[in-house]
Copies of this chain bind each other. A is one copy, B any other.
Amino acid sequence: MHSIKELRKRLEEIAHLSSILNLLSWDRDVYMPAKGINRRSATIAELSTLIHTKFVSIDNNGLLTVLKKRVDQNKIRGKDAVIINETWRSFNKEKKLPEAFIRKLSETTSKAQDVWVEARKKNDFKLFLPWLTKIVELKRKEANYIGYKVSPYDALIDAFEPGMTAEEAYKVLSDLKDFLIPFIKNIQSTQTKRDPKILLGMYPLEKQIAFNHDVVSKVGFDLEAGRIDKTTHPFETSLHPEDVRLTTRFRENDVLYSLGSTIHEAGHGMYEQGFPVKEVGTPLAEPVSHGIHESQSRMWENVIGKGLPFWKYFYPRLQKEFPKPFKKIPLKTFYQVINNVSPSLIRTEADEVTYNLHIILRFEIEKEMIEGTINLKDLPKIWKTKMKEYFNIDVPTDALGVLQDVHWSAGLIGYFPSYSFGNLYSAQFYFAMKKAIPDIDKKIAKGDFREIKRWLNKNIHAHGKTYSADALVKKVTAEPLNSAYFIDYLKKKYASIAS
């Protein structure tokens, strides 16, 4: 039977297995006993293979081919057409990669990550170089399997931003760079100097955990359909919209360290909780792209979570829970400190302004890596030169430079731009939302986040993959992705802080 019902049934089976895969990874990072790791890795590999096998056989009996033809003939439309088109797209991409290649890539990146950890610890780029070389070769091969028109980078970025090309990414990020470099210099010379150490204190873990729970449930993360646990590296993972799990990490002397990452992950989590439950397994309950996903986390973390209205509501609660040191620090000072702009070496610790320059630097390098226009052994030098040029910072060691991120050793080339696209989308979406909810600042300052959540649910979450990122942005904001919104957001925010 060549019916959409049969396709949904096949997708549903895969969805159950995929949700298990997420649980296996979550458990590995959160609760698995140490000695469990060997078999856990094998179980994950086994299940991944099973999912791949099931997915590439989804066209058995020509089911998908027949359905796709009906969509192309306009005999199937609407939601069913979305399911078929998106499944067709993923299917055709996934079946291009031979199983032997997938295994080879997975084995190589698995070993490369161990070497990278070692290389970073020893500050020895040369140790990592042969493995990076292998990975770049494999990723070029992957690009060839998948196919591309202009740059092999097109094929790779497509995994994170479907439909995006290297050229488009380059255009948007170059505009952003041209704005950011002078903007950062200017902020540095004008901003009120504040010592961020004044926010340090002694914050008992139990109380931090309680405060984190309080904040995320207040902003709208459903703790009956999710939970928060402790890990070394924070992440969000979703089994399905009714089981979404966040993790965060804690520093006993810095309550904002965990809070920032928790709000970020809760933004991801609310996106996943917003997918329609009855469509689980289909593209109608899947994220549009990494950039759109990131727009949700970054809107909550930065645009809202580092905004003055947010802290008008939460700062008194923070002061009550942790009178020392916050009782003596006025809200304005607090707000200035948490929005301090300061060029630094490490991406993951960067503020929301300089962060994007870290991304642009990586994007420029990895694009050339894949296009073969730079020599991999020169990476440390190139990194240092760009850091000097963009941030006016000297990079003392490769561990604090080119070796700091896990992405390349994990084979995630083409991923970095999504982080900045997330920032750009978040400002553009927020602008549209503010037009729809004119008193949004007042509502936030009163701790009323219900309308924001409803707006995000209705306009972004509930659609799943119905629209491409491009189409979604046009639908929601009436124009394509435009970095002007983010630029304008930063200008206004930092002008008001400086005044």
Choice from B13, B36, B242 contacting A38 with Cβ under 8 Å? B242
Q: How far is the CA of A370 from the CA of B292 in the complex (A)?
A: 60
A33 pairs with B227, CB closer than 8 A: yes
Choice from B43, B240, B243 contacting A19 with Cβ under 8 Å? B43
Q: Is A10 an interface residue (CB 8 A)?
A: no
Q: Is A34 an interface residue (CB 8 A)?
A: yes
Q: Is A40 an interface residue (CB 8 A)?
A: yes
B225 pairs with A36, CB closer than 8 A: yes
Interchain nearest-CB distance for A38 vs B (Å): 7
Q: Is A197 an interface residue (CB 8 A)?
A: no
Interchain nearest-CB distance for A270 vs B (Å): 14
Contact with B along A15-54 (1 / 0, CB 8 A): 0110110011001000111111011101100110000000
Choice from B20, B39, B240 contacting A239 with Cβ under 8 Å? B39
A267 surroundings in chain B (CB, below 8 A): none
A35 surroundings in chain B (CB, below 8 A): 222, 224-225, 242-243
B240 pairs with A33, CB closer than 8 A: no
Q: Is A280 an interface residue (CB 8 A)?
A: yes
Q: How far is the CA of A239 from the CA of B280 in the complex (A)?
A: 27
A229 surroundings in chain B (CB, below 8 A): 31
B33 pairs with A23, CB closer than 8 A: no
Q: How far is the CA of A43 from the CA of B38 in the complex (A)?
A: 24
Interchain nearest-CB distance for A53 vs B (Å): 11
Choice from B36, B47, B244 contacting A20 with Cβ under 8 Å? B47
B239 pairs with A36, CB closer than 8 A: yes
Given contacts A19-B43, A20-B47, A40-B243, contact A33 B225 (CB under 8 A): yes
Interchain nearest-CB distance for A144 vs B (Å): 32
B23 pairs with A27, CB closer than 8 A: yes
- Chain A residues 267 to 285 lying within 8 A of chain B, measured CB to CB, are 280
Question: Number of A residues whose C-beta is below 8 Å from B?
Answer: 34
B36 pairs with A243, CB closer than 8 A: yes
Q: How far is the CA of A372 from the CA of B56 in the complex (A)?
A: 52
Q: Is A226 an interface residue (CB 8 A)?
A: yes
Interchain nearest-CB distance for A28 vs B (Å): 10
Q: Is A223 an interface residue (CB 8 A)?
A: yes
Given contacts A46-B13, A47-B20, A242-B33, contact A39 B227 (CB under 8 A): no
A33 pairs with B223, CB closer than 8 A: yes
Q: How far is the CA of A244 from the CA of B36 in the complex (A)?
A: 9
Choice from B16, B19, B31, B242 contacting A31 with Cβ under 8 Å? B31
A42 pairs with B16, CB closer than 8 A: yes
Q: How far is the CA of A240 from the CA of B19 in the complex (A)?
A: 21
Choice from B16, B34, B36, B224 contacting A34 with Cβ under 8 Å? B224
B39 pairs with A280, CB closer than 8 A: yes
Q: How far is the CA of A86 from the CA of B39 in the complex (A)?
A: 23
Determine the residue in chain B with the shortest Cβ distance to A32: B243
Interchain nearest-CB distance for A238 vs B (Å): 11
A242 surroundings in chain B (CB, below 8 A): 33, 35-36, 38-39
A16 surroundings in chain B (CB, below 8 A): 39, 42-43, 46-47
Determine the residue in chain B with the shortest Cβ distance to A229: B31
Q: How far is the CA of A23 from the CA of B22 in the complex (A)?
A: 12
A39 pairs with B226, CB closer than 8 A: no
A223 surroundings in chain B (CB, below 8 A): 33
A43 pairs with B20, CB closer than 8 A: yes
Taking A19-B39, A20-B47, A33-B226 as known contacts, 20 extra A-B pairs with beta carbons closer than 8 A to each other, sorted by chain A number, are A13-B46, A16-B39, A16-B42, A16-B43, A16-B46, A17-B47, A19-B43, A20-B20, A23-B23, A27-B27, A33-B224, A33-B242, A33-B244, A35-B224, A35-B225, A35-B242, A36-B225, A39-B239, A39-B240, A40-B243
6 closest A-B pairs by CB = A36-B243, A35-B242, A35-B225, A16-B46, A16-B43, A34-B224
